[in-house]
Amino acid sequence: MKKNLLLFSCLALLTACAGTRKEISLTSEPSIERAFDIISGTSQGKQLVKYLYKHPVRFEFSNTPGMCHKFALKKGLIFLPLEMKSSDLVLALAAARAAYIYRLYTETGLGEIISEEEELAALFQARLALEVNVVEKDFKKADAAAAIRSDFCTYIMESSKYAMAQARREALTRNEDCQRPLETLENQRIWLEKIRKSMDNDNFHQLLYDRDMQRVRRGSMPISEAMKNDARVRALPVYETYRYQRTFYDDQKAIFSAFGKIYRREASADEAWRRRNREALDRARGEFSTCGLPGLEAQ
């Protein structure tokens, strides 16, 4: 009897877990669902998809210009280019990169997407492409695959360092349709130092306001939220402002320090992965032998 009760309890628990997973929907688009099936079928992507179900966010196709992912994380939304819909595999690579950035954003508490997150995500995307054994014809199926292919070529033909540098250039290039240019960790630290110095003068509110307005211009924050933040901080009494200022500085300093460690750890892990997967890299170099050759690429 006890054994039957125990078995029933285990089955009920498994059913509940399965039911919860089904109730959580990451998208309303069948093609994006298929993309996540591809991601979850890989060793690295499986853990990422599990994270998404624990910390849900919605993935939808964008109806605005820009061949890139876009984030509206305050609303719990990530947008992918509609042009990638024609290839489930390329769409999976795009979704995985955006999801990886979302995970970093959520775990680190940075508060905004920065260049270094794009750099690490480019490495993750390339490793995933190698794991699913992407070939030239996969990229030919999607209209917006050129950027992903270019990043992948840099990763396999050059090095992780070059791939990160390319991702950084893209992230820092002005493109308002893609919420760029992004901030860098170094710029964030410089800004935080200004916050520290503002404890001795009266421009703390202005520094916060200017940062939010940069986010507004980038398209990552609505103007209404920026105005609300400014009004909330300016309404604090003087003694509360100082305490808020001190706490804000300490919290941000800890966040930046923690992210720096994560950045170095992930970059080091990628180098180790490359050493373990030399054969996969060699196969990809053979498949993409025209990478970087004008007039011959993707023919």
Side-chain-side CA neighbours of 77 within 13 Å: the count stands at 11
Neighbours of 57 (CB within 10 A): 20
According to the model, what pLDDT value does residue 293 have? 53
Cβ atoms of 177 and 166 closer than 8 Å: no
Segments of the chain assigned E as strands: 58-61, 70-72, 77-80
First to last CA, the chain: 68
pLDDT under 70: residue ranges of the chain? 1-22, 292-299
**Per-residue pLDDT, 203:** 87
CB-count exposure of residue 241 (10 Å: 0-12, 13-18, 19+): middle
Cis peptide before 65 (omega within 30 of 0): no
Q: Which pLDDT score is estimated for 198? A: 87
pTM of the entire structure? 0.87
CA 283 to chain centre: 27
